[in-house]
Chains A and B, each alone.
Chain A
Amino acid sequence: MQPFPFSAIVGQDEMKQAMILTAIDASIGGVLVFGDRGTGKSTAVRALAALLPPIKAIKGCPINGEKAKDVPDWAGLTSKRSHETPTPVVDLPLGATEDRVTGALDIEKALTKGEKAFQPGLLARANRGYLYIDEVNLLEDHIVDLLLDVAQSGENVVEREGLSIRHAARFVLVGSGNPEEGELRPQLLDRFGLSVEVASPKEVETRVEVIKRRDAFENDNAAFMLRWQAEDAAIRDKILTARKSLAKLKTSDKTLTDVAELCLALGSDGLRGELTLLKAARAYAAWRDDTALTRAHLRAVAPMALRHRLRRDPLDEAGSGTRVTRTVEEVLG
């Protein structure tokens, strides 16, 4: 069954916006969605997969290489024809072993033919696409370590069982989870470009609308999908236009100063905060079809780009999003 259409998700605008921004500029570095049970986290991520425009890739390439030279030698491909394929969205299940994530010795070939061959893992399949981890805060520590390394370098290096293989693994990390069930290590938190917090809608009308659409999706699927097809397509086109106009976007020095001042005032560690904020603001400006970056853009994306980079204040019950908004008001006026 096709996933729930992205455009049919009621409300949750910040989450949808964050996902669209990473679709425009993949180098922003992923989205982390934290929230209560039953707020549509998983629905949105699966919907995004269906929304994304297809990519060009060599047919049969294990790492979805775009050009013939991208195809690794160990793939053993003879014909290198390119075709259009949907943007890969790979699920990383909680129970995944290290072998399945990084790839390992192909046991079948080793046993039957006595050949030393490499069997690519989930990281290879996620190259140029999305890697989705549900319940990311419950992921085993040794898998987290592995992901950190690969997400940082964009390259998966396998040195085991006599194999020595490296291949590109550039993917957008999408994680979802419920913070009550376990904290995420700050190192992994930092690797996510944007972070959003979702909650159930509070107004009865909105809730009714959510239920209505879900009910229609389950019981009148064909008509429902048809109804939302056009709006999904509109979002897809807008993403493609934004990708093109991103390069032409002007960034003034004044904006750079604003970005730096904002991050200084918030005391976020490292420079990744500045870089992500800038990239996200640029993507947002492109999405809005604006030609120059302004403070309005910064203001709009600052909470999602920075809220997970603050030092945790155990007494702050309002959440770090409010802290960011307050500081943005102070710095940018």
Chain B
Amino acid sequence: MASQSWTHATLALQLLTVDPGLGGICIRARSGPVRDRLTAMIAANARRLHPAISDEALFGGLDLSATLASGHLVQQNGLLATPGPLVLAMAERATTALAARLAVALDRNDDHCLIALDEGAEPDEVLNPKLAERLAFHVDLSECRLNDAGDAVPVTRTKVALRDVTMPTDIIAQVTRIAVDLGIDSMRAPLFAMRAARAHAALAGNTKVTQDDLEIACALTLAHRATRIPEPETEEEPPAPPPEQNDENKGEDTLDLPDELLLEAVRALLPDNLLEQITARKARAGRGNGTGAARKGNRRGRPLPSRAGRISDGARIDIIGTLRAAAPWQTIRRNASGREGLQIRPADIRIKRFEEKSDRLLIFTVDASGSAALSRLAEAKGAVELLLAQAYARRDHVALVAFRGTEAELLLPPTRSLVQTKRRLAALPGGGGTPLAAGMVTAFDQATQASRRGLTPTIAILTDGRANIALDGRADRKQAATDAQQIARVLRASNVDAIVIDTGNRPEPALRNLAQTLDAAYLPLPRADAERLSKSVAAALAD
């Protein structure tokens, strides 16, 4: 007896063959006999993609060897140029950029569908949400053993053309309502559900969508998108107003199907750990990577010797290097081909290379409030100085933010000048409240500016954690803590590395929480001297 997930997977693949407009399917399973049996069903004209595929392979471009050999411009077609299913292996590793390109291709062309093979092991290793959104189906075969897997179902042509399948008119409202009940925001989900229902009817050879079609379609397309579990109705809902019978055809064409029945079909498929998955999804959204962080190896930076390579997107040819590589062969090639003039082969092409390292920026956010001044300000200063020396050795940039009284101040914009930093630090006075949130905001501003310039910022917060000044400058301990937590969430969402150093006499639980929110290392350093502090920080930063 085949397991349910297997039956669904084969059914989804069949529906995809009937209607490629369904976008595709994401199959979550490790590579193995089960998956092999399933992928055997995929049409033979499917093309395989991999996560590191280049734009040239996708969209086409210059066919260099053919161009050089013939002397004419020869373009080669990309994988997206011809219709047919695309199989993306290791789909969970697809970058946002690749996902965006594939998404555009799926949006534009009705003949493409994508079969994403997701091999993720951890819950947060999943297909990019942008792509998952555009695929109608999602099946999880990771729990499916070979004994549970049934036979591959041969894909047959349907007897009924898709456009001949009629759909009762009241279904649209019903499917939309169910999507809302399941907390699905996107408008694509109900559309997919209806398309799948149509395809299912055509597959069965019917010209009319029936209750069975709709049930299985909703289960297949909606269950994995659900963001909340609909409450089982305890009270009987008031009976829906009788459908208007002013149109005779309309009355004939309705399908009397209660909402609960459809919802039940979907609910049966909801994963047990839905809530955990939702949290994982949220966390991932916050950890998205923006543009600008990627380092290009062949555009700028310190030049490296050029080397043989293929012309791909963005690569620059080292013309001198190429000519030099081709020069010794000219006589032989001329004799062999009988052609006059310079003869360059693809193997001669040399690509320019540059090395660029992203500089690190350490933003020290130092608590100079009264409480800190009493106990540890001097030690904190000493530690920062030691860290500065290390930063200088590594050629890191350093910025210094201090917070005291009611506001934070940027004492030193990002610099490499050790002397200046030391001087500013020494002159740092202490006293006043602890506006932790304000300090973090200033540091965050510096961090975003720095990452835009291509630096990799790390924020080091040194405080005793007794935040007592809120962001608006009022002395309100509770509000101050809330503000700090909120900023921490923003910082984390923007992917800024951080490290929290507790300089209080006793470890402060609030600071540990803050570090957790920040996803940062937390170093409680009661009675630590500058030397130890500096060592711990260096160790925490070195990873």
Which residues from chain A sit less than 8 Å from chain B, CB to CB?
A: 36-40, 42, 93-95, 97-98, 107-108, 111-112, 134-135, 137-142, 178, 180-183, 185, 200, 204, 207-208, 210-212, 214-215, 218-219, 314-315
Do residues A95 and B59 form an inter-chain contact, with CB atoms below 8 A? yes
Do residues B96 and A40 form an inter-chain contact, with CB atoms below 8 A? no
Do residues B97 and A138 form an inter-chain contact, with CB atoms below 8 A? yes
Give the chain B neighbours of A112 by CB distance below 8 A: 71-73
Complex A-B, nearest 3 residue pairs according to Cβ-Cβ distance, in ascending order: A182-B290, A38-B186, A95-B55
Can you name 27 A-B residue pairings with CB atoms under 8 Å? Answer: A37-B186, A93-B101, A95-B55, A95-B101, A97-B55, A112-B71, A134-B104, A142-B299, A181-B290, A182-B288, A182-B290, A182-B291, A185-B452, A200-B185, A200-B187, A207-B176, A207-B179, A207-B187, A208-B172, A208-B176, A211-B187, A211-B191, A214-B191, A215-B172, A215-B191, A314-B444, A315-B490
Q: Count contacts between A and B, CB distance < 8 Å.
A: 122
Give the chain B neighbours of A207 by CB distance below 8 A: 176, 179-180, 187, 190
Do residues B444 and A38 form an inter-chain contact, with CB atoms below 8 A? no
- Counting chain A CB atoms within 10 Å of each CB, the highest count among B180, B185, B483 belongs to B185
Instruction: State whether the Cβ of B175 lies closer than 8 Å to any Cβ in chain A.
Output: yes
Chain B nearest CB: distance from A117 CB in Å? 12
Expressed in whole angstroms, the Cα–Cα distance for A113 and B21 within the complex equals 45
Partner of B72 from A111, A185, A208 at Cβ < 8 Å: A111
Expressed in whole angstroms, the Cα–Cα distance for A111 and B190 within the complex equals 53
- Give B62's nearest chain A residue, CB to CB: A107
Chain A nearest CB: distance from B145 CB in Å? 34
Contact indicator per residue, chain B 404-438, by CB within 8 Å of chain A (1) or not (0) = 00000000000000000000000000000000000
- Give A221's nearest chain B residue, CB to CB: B163
- Give A317's nearest chain B residue, CB to CB: B486
Expressed in whole angstroms, the Cα–Cα distance for A218 and B22 within the complex equals 12
Do residues B172 and A38 form an inter-chain contact, with CB atoms below 8 A? no
Give the chain A neighbours of B194 by CB distance below 8 A: 211, 215
Chain B nearest CB: distance from A108 CB in Å? 4
Chain A nearest CB: distance from B62 CB in Å? 7
Do residues B187 and A108 form an inter-chain contact, with CB atoms below 8 A? no
Instruction: State whether the Cβ of B177 lies closer than 8 Å to any Cβ in chain A.
Output: yes
- Also in contact, A182 and B289, with CB within 8 A (given A112-B71, A208-B173): yes
Expressed in whole angstroms, the Cα–Cα distance for A41 and B486 within the complex equals 30
Partner of B313 from A95, A135, A185, A314 at Cβ < 8 Å: A95
Do residues B190 and A108 form an inter-chain contact, with CB atoms below 8 A? no
Do residues B101 and A94 form an inter-chain contact, with CB atoms below 8 A? yes
Expressed in whole angstroms, the Cα–Cα distance for A40 and B107 within the complex equals 11
Do residues A94 and B187 form an inter-chain contact, with CB atoms below 8 A? no
Chain A nearest CB: distance from B520 CB in Å? 17
Expressed in whole angstroms, the Cα–Cα distance for A236 and B190 within the complex equals 32
Give the chain A neighbours of B167 by CB distance below 8 A: 215
Do residues B177 and A111 form an inter-chain contact, with CB atoms below 8 A? no
Expressed in whole angstroms, the Cα–Cα distance for A97 and B315 within the complex equals 10
Chain A nearest CB: distance from B298 CB in Å? 11
Chain A nearest CB: distance from B244 CB in Å? 15
Partner of A36 from B185, B290, B313 at Cβ < 8 Å: B185
Beyond A112-B71, A182-B289, 13 extra complex contacts between A and B, CB < 8 Å = A95-B313, A97-B55, A98-B314, A107-B62, A108-B73, A134-B104, A141-B292, A185-B452, A200-B185, A211-B187, A314-B490, A315-B487, A315-B490
Partner of B133 from A38, A95, A98, A138 at Cβ < 8 Å: A38
